[in-house]
Amino acid sequence: MIEIKLKPGKEKSLLHRHPWVYSGALAAPLPDLPGGATVKLVSAAGRFLGYGAWSPASQIRLRIWSFATDEIPEGDFFARRLDAAVARREHLGLAESGNACRLVYGECDGMPGLIVDRYADFLVCQFLSAGAERHRDDIVAALAERLHPTGIYERSDTAARAKEGLPERCGLLYGAEPPERIAIREEQLTFDVDVRKGHKTGFYLDQRDSRHTVAAACNGKEVLNCFSYTGAFSAWALAGNARHVTDIDASAYALETAMANYRRNGFAPERCEQLCGDVFQLLRKFRDAARSFDVIILDPPKFAENRGQLPRAARAYKDINLLACKLLRPGGRLFTFSCSGAMTAELFQKVVADAALDAGRNAAVVRRLGQAADHATALNFPEGFYLKGLECIVE
């Protein structure tokens, strides 16, 4: 196994078990290794720091599999890591309340670059790093052997692959092809999930807890759900006895799926209005028409892929939150989110506060929201915390 040294003084984050090593921290000469090759990382003084996966195309040149000298990533290593990740979800009791959850959350489960989501009897995987890609067959075999899914489908079609020098790829990995839509259960509600064409791996599993929070605030209310996708927030609002829900999304296909979800759960279509178009433009039209709502949900796509895009993203977040504040009736609830990892919780709250101020409204944070428990953030990897949300009362 190739041994790689850090430059002097660059080991602090590794001693705190952060799993990323940037190319600038590595001492020259750097080896010519294939993507995903396992290397032994040592300090400038020769102290063992960990075993990692080499990624020659990425600024994150090394992702650590293990910080233990006796835990080399080979043999049943990946099966053991998968067992541990699944056991964590079992301890959360998620199977009692539904049949869809995240089983493996990358670095937070000691499996850098690997995402595994369960949708009923199917698994959907993303291999987002050179290391995960190299051990793809071993990981799929371990998933099949231990979890016995009907099928395993790959959705490695994200921009993260390009940063690793890897092409996008989707397709069947094991077992039977998934149906066009997989029916999943979340508490008493059922949702159709398209794992081939849907966002992420098909569904926003990370918003599970926030959907329940929204439901509790919607009794008798008129609700506006922006960036509504397939209507999970709206369905929970209706389950919470919302009087009426308006969905806005740019995808007609997503809106059709949302309406199918409402019908599947017994919600009358007349309680739902759907608008296909640009959220920013439609919010301005609502403002100009003096339309108002009791509850507004803002769950936009990622506006910032990196820190360099933060200024532009902050302006976009402020714009939609300002418009939402103007559209809320006095005492209304604003549920607003950012899934941009580069956007800190502090900056996001400041952006929402500035939006309320510019709208001439007083707003107070009732509750801070975040990703569901199956997306738990490892304390040694704060980058795993990406979903920030605020529930605000707007006067």
Beta bridge partners, 275, equal 248
Assess whether 339 carries a catalytic annotation: yes
Encoded tokens for 183: 């029916």
Cβ atoms of residues 323 and 282 within 8 Å = no
Neighbours of 287 (CB within 10 A): 16
In three-state secondary structure terms, 11 is coil
What are the C-alpha distances in Å from 213 to residues 43, 250, 333? 47, 25, 11
Cβ atoms of residues 229 and 259 within 8 Å = no
Q: From CA 151, how far away is CA 166, in angstroms rounded?
A: 24
Encoded tokens for 42: 């040592």
Encoded tokens for 336: 């607003």
Catalytic, out of 108, 325, 339, 392: 339
Please, what is the angle between helix 208-216 and helix 232-239, to 10°?
Answer: 40
Say which residues have a Cβ less than 8 Å from residue 263's Cβ, sequence separation at least 6: 269
| CA nearest neighbour of 149 among 127, 170, 173 | 173
Cβ atoms of residues 217 and 391 within 8 Å = yes
Residues labelled as active-site residues: 339
